[in-house]
Structure 1
Amino acid sequence: MNFKDFKNLVKLRLTFLVVFSASISFLIGSRVTNQETIGYTGWGHINWMNWVMLIVGGFLVTGAANCFNEIIEKDLDKLMTRTSDRPLPSERMTTGQALVIGLFMGLLGTYLLGKLNLITGFLSVFSIILYAFAYTPLKRKSPIAVFVGAIPGALPPLIGYVAAHPSIDEIALILFGIQFMWQFTHFWAIAWVLDDDYKLGGFRLLPTGNRDLTSAIVTFVTALILLPVSLLPTYMGYGGYYVGGVSLVCSLIFLYQAFNLMRTLEIKAARQLMFGSFLYLPVVQLMFLFDFIGK
């Protein structure tokens, strides 16, 4: 097995995005903890060793979930152009090899996250089970899979936050809520672009199963709901006007891109929305971190 095969097995780019989200939330949680204990929210009292443990453990757990996903979908991946060259469908790697890698990464990652605290360890196990064994098989049965998948997809910021501040409080729920609502617009933009390829594997993930006006309207509505959700840090008093202003601008741009998809029903518009979603989340999360109230 070479690095390219390992990269494709664990879906490296997706895994890095997940780890980034969790690491930013860890820093937010650290500043909350410091504010509660010593009345200080700067950078000087953050446990950077725990931050590294979260990154390594989060990478391993996410990679394991993606590995199990590819094992389950091996035969379906052979049918799709986008996935046919992955190590399992191309038979450059056996299912047994992938299973060993997935189990090793999952166990080690859960151990590292569990050492931070039990809530973090529990949430990591829950995310693997829900993603690999609930979301994955549902993808061929119903668009409800997107809702199920949005839960483990939104757990990384929650896991990162409780790794530093072991309680699920309002800030934790805000971080979860922003990423949860973002998932729908993000994923349906991807599903619109890749719909032809997905259908080769039997996946019908758009709201109606097709590129039609109703699917576009539902996608637009999720972007619309995301707008007030993204303003919760400022509204609830946990962030200042900078995060509120940037979140508002990003949400309006995102909403315009979703409206453009609804207006045109074109793959080009869906691709623009997809790339917009890649920028939206890290920008909003970073602004929340840097504009955290009481810094």
Structure 2
Amino acid sequence: MNSTAITETRTSMHTLLSDLKQLTKVGLSFSVVFSSVAGYLLAVDIINYTTLFLLAVGGFFMVGASNTFNQIIEKDTDAIMQRTKNRPLPTGRMSVNFALTIAILLTVLGLSILYSINPKTALFGAISIFIYTSVYTPLKSVTPLTVFVGAIPGAIPFMLGWVAATNEFGIEAGFLFMIQFFWQFPHFWSIGWLQFEEYKKAGFNMLPMNTKDKGAVKQIIFYTAIMILVSISPVLKVSGRFYIYPISAVIVAIFGFIMLYYGIKLHKSEDNTDARKLMLASVLYITMVQVVYVVDKFLH
């Protein structure tokens, strides 16, 4: 094999790996794994590293499958939008059949791994993939309510960790679900604000009432406020075995108020710069809340 052939093989392997990373949205998949692991750590007294590993891998495959199915369905609309037109499917670097094989393989592997933890974990994993691909994705071009539907699979990872650890879906898992559920709205609507013109080109309805105005931001502020209240409510010991110290509630509230601050700024300015700051604040918030909860738990 001459050096040119070796170089070409390396290049094509590199391209394939890069395309697979884009197809499965590796960054997003890791953030989901982070949430699942946090949920698991909140539920256990003694960490079972095998379960933790299986949860991380199964969760990663589950999200990778959802993202791959999503890109297969949205191949044509992805080609229209600046942000997505260089993805492997719209550019033709990867065939739909190959992507479909990857999606099915990730689904089967992901759900089998989650099932090996316990059946309930696999069930919620399956619900997540189904809603994301069969309900949320098609609804994007139909109604702004798609964000509500998308918030369901988006909120499953945090509680998935609890279910993996306990094999039960009780009030604790319900609270973890609600925290991540209400967080989705300010997070996705700030992205919807930034990408409004692009989404419009593709025919997607990603803002409330599909309008980029103060009314949309009022909803962002409203859901941010609910999110803060739900996130600090475990301090009142209303969420079963899952509760936090007052100092943790204060820290969580501070991160929430940072989001609220940018929400109010966006209401005044209606400027993309503030929407971007809100989006970044929302990523900081969900990360820090999970870290604070886990640290708090191990200080009990």
TM-score of the two chains, using structure 1 as the length reference:
0.93
1:12 alignment counterpart: 26
1:191-230 superposed matches below 5 A: 191-230=192-231
Counterpart CA distance in 2 for 1:86 and 1:139 is 19
- Residue 282 of structure 2 is aligned with which of 254, 277, 281? 277
Q: Tell me which protein shows more helix as a share of its residues.
A: 2
Per-residue Cα deviation, 1:238-278 (whole angstroms, up to 9, x for no partner): 11123201111111111111111111111111000000011
1:66-145 superposed matches below 5 A: 66-145=67-146
Counterpart CA distance in 2 for 1:54 and 1:242 is 30
Counterpart CA distance in 1 for 2:275 and 2:299 is 39
Counterpart CA distance in 1 for 2:288 and 2:297 is 14
Counterpart CA distance in 2 for 1:76 and 1:294 is 48
Identify which range, 220-229 or 51-60, moves more after superposition.
220-229
Structure 1 unaligned residues grouped into runs of 5+: 32-44
2:96 maps to amino acid: T
- Residue 247 of structure 1 is aligned with which of 247, 252, 263? 252
Matched, 1:179 2:184: no
Contact 1:208–1:215, Cα closer than 8 Å, also in 2? yes
Cα distance, 1:294 vs. partner? 7.0
Counterpart CA distance in 2 for 1:115 and 1:294 is 31
Secondary structure of residue in 2 paired with 1:208: helix
2:10 alignment counterpart: none
1:252 maps to amino acid: F
Q: CA RMSD in A?
A: 1.1
2:200 maps to amino acid: K
2:16 alignment counterpart: 2
What is the aligned-residue identity percentage?
A: 39
Identify which range, 282-291 or 133-142, moves more after superposition.
282-291
Secondary structure of residue in 2 paired with 1:168: coil
- Runs of 4 or more off by more than 4 Å in structure 1? none
TM-score of the two chains, using structure 2 as the length reference:
0.92
Contact 1:239–1:293, Cα closer than 8 Å, also in 2? no
Secondary structure of residue in 2 paired with 1:163: helix
Per-residue Cα deviation, 1:171-214 (whole angstroms, up to 9, x for no partner): 21111111000000000001101111111111121002121111
1:81 maps to amino acid: Q
2:211 maps to amino acid: N
Counterpart CA distance in 1 for 2:148 and 2:72 is 22
Counterpart CA distance in 2 for 1:201 and 1:235 is 45
Structure 2 unaligned residues grouped into runs of 5+: 1-14
2:44 alignment counterpart: 30
Aligned length: 282
Structure (1 or 2) with the larger CA radius of gyration: 2
1:274 maps to amino acid: M
1:157 alignment counterpart: 158
Cα distance, 1:293 vs. partner? 7.6
Matched, 1:288 2:293: yes
Contact 1:233–1:288, Cα closer than 8 Å, also in 2? no
Cα distance, 1:224 vs. partner? 1.3
Identify which range, 161-170 or 71-80, moves more after superposition.
161-170
Secondary structure of residue in 1 paired with 2:86: coil
Secondary structure of residue in 2 paired with 1:88: helix
Cα distance, 1:92 vs. partner? 0.3
